[in-house]
Amino acid sequence: MNITFQGNKMTLNGQQVKIGDALTDFTVVDNNLNEVNLAALKGKKIFLTVPSLDTPVCDLEVRTFNSKASKIEGVAGIYTISMDLPFAQARWCGAKGVDKVATLSDYKYHSFAKATGTYINELGLLTRSVIIVDENNKVIYTEYLSEITNEPQYDLALAALSK
């Protein structure tokens, strides 16, 4: 897949997931430095990967999902994953009043990045994507943005949740 950051071509490492794929297990770190893996997360889940929470587009995206997706029945969890350190993620959530989205860090293992093909070689960050899985961890929606600084298609993601 071709992606850009501010118009400059970037390279993603690994294979992106597609609708119908089973999401591969991963290990990330929560805001208390506890390891979290896919098996611990139950139900229908939304995974948002962002380069850094402390940027305007990432901030807007996470706050939008915090307010809109959390109101859809049947969503067990909304998770934003970035390379930000857990301490910075916790500070950001507290400052922005984000209470429906859990932030998880892939800084330690890059495990989510490997499972989803979201690692940007040139930046050492995750690309912007939306991945939704059902209660069996089968992918039911994906969007990998071709320009990292763009927002995702909220309406399409929210519609996939309602199916």
The yes-or-no answer on residue 58 being catalytic is: yes
Q: Which of 134, 70, 125 is nearest to 101 (CA)?
A: 70
What is the enclosing helix (H) or strand (E) of 29?
strand 27-29
Neighbours of 128 (CB within 10 A): 27
Cβ-contact 115, 139 below 8 angstroms = no
For residues 80 and 13, what is the distance between their CA atoms, to the nearest angstrom?
Answer: 19
Instruction: Choose, from 17, 28, 58, 81, the residue flagged as catalytic.
Output: 58
How would you write 66-105 as a 3-class SS string? Answer: HHHHHHCCCEEEEEEEECCCHHHHHHHHHHHCCCCEEEEE
Residue 22 CA: distances (Å) to CA of 1, 19, 98, 136, 155: 20, 9, 29, 8, 24
Active-site annotation, residues: 58
